[in-house]
A and B are shown apart, each in its own frame.
Chain A
Amino acid sequence: MARLQLHDLQLARGGQTVLEHLDGRFQDGAVTALIGANGAGKSTLIAAIMGMLAPVAGRVECRVPRERCAWLPQQLALDLTFPMSVEELIMTGTWPSHGALKGYCAAHYRKGRDIMARLGISHLAHRQLGELSGGQRQRALLGRTLMQEAELLLLDEPFANVDGETVEMLMDVLRDMARAGATILVVLHDMEQLARLADDVLLLAGGHGRWVSPEALLDHHTGQLPRAPRLPIDFQEASHAGTA
Chain B
Amino acid sequence: MLALLDAWLFAPFEYGFMRRAVVAGLALSLAAPPLGVFLMLRGMSLIGDAMAHAILPGVALGFLFAGFSLPVMSLGGILSGLLVAVLAGSVSQMTGHREDSAMASFFLISLAAGVMLVSLGGSSVDLTHVLFGSILAVDTTALVLIAGIASLIVTVLAGIFRALVVECLDPLFLRGQGVRGGVVHGVFLGLVVLNLTAGFQTLGTLMAVGLMMLPATTARFWSQRLEGLIAIAIGIALVASTGGLLLSYHLSLPSGPAIILLAGVAYVLSALFGRQHSLAARWRRTARPLDAAPPP
Contacts and interface: CB of A to CB of B under 8 A. Distances in A.
B96 interface: no
A52 B176 CA distance: 9
B166 A79 contact: no
A100 B162 contact: yes
Given A70-B176, A96-B177, A83 B41 contact: yes
Interface residues of A, number: 27
B289 interface: no
Nearest to B166: A92
B128 interface: no
Contacts of A89: 169
Contacts of A71: 172, 176
Main secondary structure of the interface of B (DSSP, over half): helix
Contacts of B168: 79, 82
A92 B224 contact: no
Interface string B169-201: 111111111110000000000000000000000
B41 A77 contact: no
B138 to A, nearest CB: 34
A128 B224 contact: yes
Contacts of A52: 175
Contact of B226 (A83, A100, A144): A83
A50 B176 contact: yes
B229 interface: yes
A139 to B, nearest CB: 16
A66 B176 CA distance: 7
Contact of B170 (A66, A77, A100, A126): A77
Closest 6 CB pairs of A and B: A100-B163, A77-B172, A82-B169, A83-B226, A66-B178, A100-B162
Interface of A: 50, 52, 66-67, 69-71, 73, 77-79, 81-85, 89, 92, 95-96, 100-101, 126-129, 144
13 contacts: A50-B176, A66-B176, A66-B177, A79-B169, A83-B224, A83-B226, A84-B165, A89-B169, A92-B162, A92-B166, A95-B166, A100-B162, A101-B162
